[in-house]
Amino acid sequence: MELRKNKKGSLQDIIFGGVILLVAAIVILISFKLATEFNNNIQADASIPTVGKTASNTLTNYFPGVVNHTFLLLTIGIAIATLVMAALVRVHPIFLVFFLIGLILIIFISGILSNVYDAMATDAQLAPQANQLNYVSFIMTRLPFIVGIVGVLLMIVMYKVWQVEY
């Protein structure tokens, strides 16, 4: 992947992280819907023993908690990885203006990504599952704010390193 070849923290890492979070949130939401439908079909089938129905119900009940915490960990991990990679880069402070313009553009793009998730989460077919995925919904509805915070931290890390002599 040519885009990820230079391994340095920058604005493109923030957009990359936002897209990863959007794809992960959509996959999680659809997977939860499929798991719920699968569990409903198992519960309705009279030929499946009670042990199987109980096991399927237990797994379906664990799904939101496990996936919520995993998504939170993914979000924090992407932010930390971006900041660590940014600490490895020396950028002259003259580029701060361009960074701020790019950050504003990326916050706008992350708003679009947030709206894509919101449109899926408010769909009548997926709304019950989205309501159970608290962390996923919280993070995705506030994605522009989170991207802004990570962007400001990224700016501080990238331009603070300029003053440090090696």
| 85 CB-near residues (< 8 Å, 6+ apart) | 7, 8, 9, 13
User: H/E element holding 32?
Assistant: helix 11-44
Q: What is the pLDDT of residue 11?
A: 81
Q: What is the pLDDT of residues 115-133, one digit of tens each?
A: 999 999 999 999 999 999 9
State the chain's mean pLDDT as an integer: 87
pLDDT band at 162 (very low <50, low <70, confident <90, very high): low
Domain locations in the chain as residue ranges: 10-161
pTM: 0.85
Query: Which residues contact residue 3 at a Cβ distance below 8 angstroms, ignoring those fewer than 6 apart?
Result: 12, 16
Distance CA 22, CA 124 (A): 19
Mean pLDDT of 101-109: 93
- Whether pLDDT at 89 is above 50: yes
Residue 163 has pLDDT above 70, yes or no: no
